[in-house]
Structure 1
């Protein structure tokens, strides 16, 4: 089943779950790489993404939050340097992007959405990485796929609810054609 068909199937049951986003891809097809997106809080149908760079947070694709735009900028800077970097350094840089805690304020979209929050909490929510014991980033995933279909899958996860304890695991494999 191709990515778009899979996401169409998922979308028929999307209403049964809390908010989520999913990206699925078919790599190296006769049409090139095909990347699709579905979020159950937005459009009712999945979409095929045109080539480019997108920002995705815990809201919908390309939500115009300053933290999302800032994260995209940091990501693009890492990508621009990527060919000159060893893979482990690139993964570290990408994890740094995902774990950036600099508040991106003022941001009218965040402030409007978080009117009931006091400023110190709002500052945390306005960062790429929200780090709280009961809310925020629990896992970061970096997936690198080279031209030969070799995949490096790195996941960094919080242990229990302790924001100071993290575990990183890396898996490598080759995609089947």
Structure 2
């Protein structure tokens, strides 16, 4: 029987442990969870350290690239939609790279997160989900008949001075996939 993965992120945020220590402490717990990719960002001396851990291969990986994309696949074997999303992310971030362009940046990032274009062929996705690969091949997923899909978008912006903006856009309850109502919440604070 599988157990919830939900507490993993909440417990990590509450802890003051480095990600490597935290992952080592929860490995026994994660063995009983469905497969997942956990992404963390630690700030060390003003430089972000981005890491990912998957219980599918039990590996904690540090990412050095400037532009990274994550999805429902191992980071070293991204789905086609993740590769396309990463390329579009790079384009957006190199175009809207000034603090004064923040609203345009956020608007473009939301467009990316709601991107419905199919990214096929994708052999990995077709192999993993032969009956649903077409529906799952876009960044934004909506499968009303299965009551499955993207329900929340989160954007985290951090300036060089440590000012953080968190924008969360989530479907309001009751969730209606055919006519979603979106609620936007924003938080700002300094690290």
Q: What TM-score do the two structures reach when normalised by structure 1? A: 0.84
> Superposition RMSD on alpha carbons, in Å?
2.0
Work out whether 1:17 is the aligned partner of 2:30.
no
Please identify, of 139-148 and 87-96, the stretch whose mean Cα deviation from structure 2 is larger.
87-96
Correspondence for 2:8: none
Post-superposition Cα deviations, 1:132-159, rounded to whole Å, max 9, x if no partner, equal: 2311211111100111110000111112
Counterpart among 99, 109, 114 of residue 94 in structure 1: 109
How big is each residue's C-alpha offset from its partner over 1:71-122, in whole Å with a ceiling of 9 and x where there is no partner?
A: 111111111112246212211111111110111122222222232x1xxx53
Q: Which runs of 5+ in 2 are unaligned?
A: 1-16
Partner of 2:7: none
Which residue number corresponds to residue 70 of structure 1?
84
Structure with larger RCO (C-alpha < 8 A, sep 6+)? 1
Superposition misfits of 4+ residues, deviation over 3 angstroms: none
Unaligned regions of 5+ residues in structure 1, if any?
A: none
Q: Give me the TM-score of the superposition, normalised by structure 2.
A: 0.79
CA separation of 1:107 and 1:138: change in aligned 2, threshold 3 A:
same
Separation in 2, partners of 1:67, 1:35:
21
Alpha-carbon distance, 1:131 to partner: 1.3
In structure 1, the residue matched to 2:68 is 54
Query: Which whole-Å CA distance do the structure 1 matches of 2:152 and 2:110 have between them?
Result: 10
- The answer to whether structure 1 residue 127 and structure 2 residue 141 are counterparts is no
Cα deviations across residues 21-76 of structure 1 (Å, max 9, x unaligned)?
2212221427x33222112222x132222243222112222433211111111111
Flag the 1:28–1:101 CA change in 2: closer, same or farther, 3 A: same
The count of aligned residue pairs is 169
